[in-house]
Structure 1
Amino acid sequence: MPLSRRSVLAAALFLGLGTGLPALAHAQAIDPALQALINGSQRAKFNSVRDRYRHPGEVLTFFGVQPDSTVVEILPGAGGYWAEILAPYLRDKGHYIAANGEKASTSAEVQKDNAGLAAKLAADPAEYGKAEITEFSADKHAIAPAGSADFVLTFRNIHNWMAAGTTKESFAAFYQALKPGGILGVEEHRGKPDQPQDPLAKSGYVRQNVAIGFAEAAGFKYLGSSEVNANPKDTKDYPAGVWTLPPTYKLGAEDHAKYEAIGESDRFILKFQKPGT
C-alpha cells in the first residue's frame, strides 16, 4: 500500500530529517491505544475536526509520551483538545496534570477557561476522573511538584508570554517541574526567519530560533524538531495576524473562503530535554 503524505511526514520527523541532528535508528509507530483515543467517542467534534492540522498522534509520539508518563499540559483552556486524549491515555498508569489559569485571575477569559475545563473533566469521571488541575501563571505557582514530571507540553502559548514579558519565568517553571532527563515539548506559530522578531509577537508568530533561545536560556538542551504541522500555504502577513486564519477567523466573513483554503497556521514542533538522568 502506498504511504500517505501523513505517514511520510511522520517517518521523516522520527528520522530527524531537516533537524541537523543524527537520524534515529527507526521510525516510531503511533501506539494503537493512543490512536484509539484520538478516534474515540469521548472527543468533542470541534476538537477532532482539527486533527488534520494538529496531528495529535504524531506529535505525542515525537515527544515520546507513554501510558505511564506524568504529563503537565500548560493552559489547556476550556476546550481541552489535548486533555481529551492525554487524560484517558494516562489514566491507569500515568498522570495527567492540566496547568490551567490562575484561580485568582481577574481576567474573564481565564475564569471562563478554568470553569470550562473543570466542567469538562467533571462531566466524564470514567475518562477524566484521575486528571489533576493546577495553576499556571509564569513562575508564581508550582505546576507540579519539583522534579516530578516526565513531560511538560505547551501548545501555541509563547507569543502570549512574549506579550506579557514572562517568557523567562514561564520556562523556569517548566524546568523546575521536570525530572532530570524530562522532556519539554513546544508548539508555536512559526514566524518568518528572514524578518526581525517583534519582541511582543503581536501577530502571534514567533521565529523558531527565538523559541529555541528561550528554552536554552532556561537550561534546556535542544533535541530536534518535527515538521508534521508545517503549512507552506501560510504567508504570515494577515491584517489580524495569525487569528485571521481558522479556527478563529477574526475578520469574520471577509475573505473567509481564502483563509479557509490556507488552513491553520504553519507551526513548529520542538523537543527539549532537562539535563541529567
Structure 2
Amino acid sequence: MTMTEQRVTPLAPEEQETLMRLEAVVRQGWQGFVNVGEALLTIRDARLYREAHKTFGDYCEQVWGWSRQRAQQLMDAAETSHTLTTIGLHPENERQAREYKEAAKVVAALEPEMQVAVATYLKTATGSERPTTTQVRAAAEVAAAIDAHGTVAHPDTGTEVPFHALTGEQRAVALAENVTTGTYERLKRQENHIQTSIQQNNSTGKGGWTDWCVSYAEQQLTDTQELRIVVKKDSSGNAQVQALIVDSESHATVAFGDIAPYLKKAVMNLVEEVRG
C-alpha cells in the first residue's frame, strides 16, 4: 500500500480534544517555547496529526508554516530545557537553550547522583545563574568520567576507599569534591592550552585570527585533535558559526566557543571562553 493509498485513521474524541489543547499551546508562541516544543513532541509521538496529514512534516508545514527542521529545533529546545532543570538551570529563551544543547546531551546521560554533583558545582563554583556552556559541559564530562567502581578519597579521612562503600551522604560529598576539582583542572588546562598558543603565535610575528588558527593547529593540537569551524543556518536562514577543538578518537570536545554570526567572532569566542 502506497502513502497515497494509506487509509486515514480517525482520531478518537479524547484524541481530538488533546490535539486541540496542544495546538492552543503552540499558538501561544515564543513566550512559552518549552511548552510549544513539548506540545509538538506529543503531537508527533502520539501521531495526532494522522487524520488530516500523512506525515508530521506535512502537518508542521500546512498547519504552522514551519519546516520539519524548524519544528525539530523547537522540540530540541524543550528537551534541552527539561534536561537542564535537573542541574538547576532554566534557559530564558530558545536561543539560550540552543547554546546549551550539546552540554545537555552529556547531562542527560548522567546518573541522578552525578547530576546533583554537577548542579552543586555550578551553584557554588561559578557564582552565576547562567554559567557558560563550557563550564556546564566540562562539569558534566568530568562527572561522566568518574568510575563508580573505582576508589575515591573518603570525605572524612582522606584515605582511598571504594566508591560503592560510601554511604549516600558520603557519596554526595565525594562526588561534589571530585567534580569541582576535576572541572577546575580541566578548565585550567584548556585556558593554558590557548594562552600558550597565543604567546607562541605572537612570538612568530603572525597576526590575526586566521593566523591564530593555523599556529594553534601547528603548535598545540595532538595527532588526534582537530580545530573545527562549523557553519550552519539557523531557523531564520542566517549563518551561525562555532569554533571547537575535538579529539577525533574519543569524540570528546576539548574546548568550544559560543555560537556567533561570523567567523572571526566564533574563533575569538573560543579564545575568550577558555580564558574564562
TM superposition score normalised by structure 2:
0.29
Point out which structure has higher relative CO (alpha carbons under 8 A, 6+ apart).
1
Q: Which structure has more strand as a fraction of its residues?
A: 1
Rg larger for: 2
TM superposition score normalised by structure 1:
0.29
Q: Which structure has more helix as a fraction of its residues?
A: 2
